[in-house]
Structure 1
Amino acid sequence: MITVFGPGEIYLRNRGGEVPPDTWVRVGTAGVPDGNLVTGGATDPATAAALLRGVTHAEDRGRVGADGERWWYHRGTVDPAAAARAVRGLPEQGQFEAVAAGLTGREVTFEAWLDDEGLLRRVTYRFGTAEAGAGDLVSTTELLDFGVPVPVRVPPEGEVADGTVAAR
């Protein structure tokens, strides 16, 4: 499956099921009960970074070796509702509000690695799940090659069908 992230939307290609081959399916992230961060496990890089606006506790763990480089390592907790307030008026607001509603009473922990310029290079979130015995969902986003142009386009309307994500 190929995934392209747009503001407040995820485009999925070759997702299977009743979808014809090579058809894109558009899913609005705010309309998914948990913002698609948990049910779909998909976090676009901008959303992954913006979720850190809801940090409630953070520990500086010093410099660590990662991918042949030395990065600053931090870990702590994030409140998606606080992140939603911090991005009020931006596309991520609805997604974070959905995450907060879907994770009421459960903690979201993070680990973040930053380079010497303060750029976020990797972030890992652990979302506690309500399902007994399901464990935590872990989402990691890596950010590499800053400043290198990447040709990405949102699929044109003629190639897109609107879709939904079924609640579990």
Structure 2
Amino acid sequence: MVERQRDRGRARRGHGGGRAALALAVMAGIVASACGCGASGGAAADGADGGTAAVRGAAGTLVAAGSARAVTSMEMAAGGTRVTIRGEGGYDFRRRIGSLTVTLPKDPTGSPEHRPITELLSPSLLYMKNRGAGVPAGKWVRIDSATLADGNLVTGGATDPLTAAELLGSAGKVSFAGTEDLAGTSVRHYRGVADLGAAARGAAPYARGALAAAVRGKGFGSAAVPFDAYVDGEGRLRKVRQRFTYLNQGKPVTVASTTVLYGFGARVSVLLPRAADIYAGRVRD
């Protein structure tokens, strides 16, 4: 899992130059060596349950909630070996920014674990510390999501929680899978399929660039994104699992991204790095 922490302030657009190379370095050796598996499907018909409206309105409901703690995971598998990237943190939905402490798995060779990566998130920008060879200690790297072939939906090892909710705005074929208990909270479980193209056209301005980049950049083998969404009694999205068909060197790889939200209203306070602390050079794997 990859969890997200909180962040504050207003993000600025990233530098040009080596952003594409940097993005590839973020997940080099992880996505490149994995292919995922995921499941989708529907149970009972949605009917009068209102599931389609509840799922499509997830982003607006989160903004109204203000903030939350978050846990996310990104899973891939290859040759019987499952790779999971984990993290935790929080997100300020009104400021549209958050922070995660991301833990990468051990290398298949058994080499020591990587240092945790700090990620500062927004629908348009990603800042990372402790990721990439050649980056001076204490420096941050910055990526503009709109420059990436996948809109940074999977490249950074986690899907921005608010962007994930915006993607649900295109939900179709929604079915009600039943009522479940999620960490002591009763939630309604819905299944369906989102569409990247429709989501990009209908998303709020803050998320439109990243979603449009995912369509324009052809980083995915399919625009269809099967999902499972869990909504509480107040209409808040508590958990979402989305399955992307990511293209790795032209080959489709299923990447399952899960976000769990809890502790709504939690104080979120994270400072963006100063311009002097941002590394603009080339990042090596």
**Aligning the two structures, in what range does the TM-score lie when normalised by the shorter sequence?**
0.7 to 0.9
After the TM superposition, which residues 24-35 of structure 1 pair with which residues of structure 2 at under 5 Å, given as runs? 24-35=140-151
Q: Which residue of 1 aligns with 2:263?
A: 145
Q: Which residue of 2 aligns with 1:116?
A: 233
For structure 2, list consecutive stretches of 5 or more residues without a partner in the other structure.
Answer: 1-116
Q: Which residue of 2 aligns with 1:136?
A: 254
Distance between the aligned counterparts of 2:283 and 2:244, measured in 1?
18
With over 3 angstroms needed to count, the CA separation of the structure-2 counterparts of 1:20 and 1:3, relative to structure 1, is same
**CA contact 2:142–2:278 (8 Å) conserved in 1:** yes
1:10 to 121, 126, 146: 126
Matched, 1:46 2:162: yes
**CA contact 2:153–2:160 (8 Å) conserved in 1:** no
Per the TM alignment, residue 92 of structure 1 is displaced from its structure 2 partner at its CA by: 1.2
Per the TM alignment, residue 32 of structure 1 is displaced from its structure 2 partner at its CA by: 0.5
* Greater radius of gyration (CA): 2
With over 3 angstroms needed to count, the CA separation of the structure-2 counterparts of 1:96 and 1:106, relative to structure 1, is closer
Distance between the aligned counterparts of 1:126 and 1:115, measured in 2?
22
Q: Which has the higher contact order (CA 8 A, sep 6+)?
A: 2
Matched, 1:157 2:279: no
With over 3 angstroms needed to count, the CA separation of the structure-2 counterparts of 1:160 and 1:102, relative to structure 1, is same
Structure 2 letter corresponding to 1:128: T
Distance between the aligned counterparts of 1:102 and 1:108, measured in 2?
13
**CA contact 1:79–1:108 (8 Å) conserved in 2:** yes
Q: What RMSD, in angstroms, separates the aligned Cα atoms of the two structures?
A: 2.3
With over 3 angstroms needed to count, the CA separation of the structure-2 counterparts of 1:133 and 1:31, relative to structure 1, is closer
With over 3 angstroms needed to count, the CA separation of the structure-2 counterparts of 1:9 and 1:148, relative to structure 1, is same
Per the TM alignment, residue 143 of structure 1 is displaced from its structure 2 partner at its CA by: 1.4
Distance between the aligned counterparts of 2:254 and 2:136, measured in 1?
32
Distance between the aligned counterparts of 2:197 and 2:262, measured in 1?
28
Distance between the aligned counterparts of 2:232 and 2:251, measured in 1?
36
Distance between the aligned counterparts of 1:159 and 1:130, measured in 2?
33
Distance between the aligned counterparts of 2:270 and 2:240, measured in 1?
22
Q: Which residue of 2 aligns with 1:97?
A: 212
Matched, 1:127 2:244: yes
Give a deviation string over 1:30-72, Cα, whole Å, max 9, x none.
1001111133332111111111112122111121122222211
**CA contact 1:26–1:163 (8 Å) conserved in 2:** no
Distance between the aligned counterparts of 2:265 and 2:281, measured in 1?
33
Matched, 1:72 2:188: yes
Q: Which residue of 2 aligns with 1:81?
A: 197
For structure 1, list consecutive stretches of 5 or more residues without a partner in the other structure.
Answer: none
TM-score by length of 1: 0.87
Please give the secondary structure, in 1, of the residue aligned with 2:262: coil
**CA contact 1:32–1:165 (8 Å) conserved in 2:** no
Give the stretch that moved more between structures: 132-141 or 150-159.
132-141
Distance between the aligned counterparts of 1:84 and 1:133, measured in 2?
24
TM-score by length of 2: 0.53
Distance between the aligned counterparts of 2:159 and 2:143, measured in 1?
13
With over 3 angstroms needed to count, the CA separation of the structure-2 counterparts of 1:19 and 1:155, relative to structure 1, is same
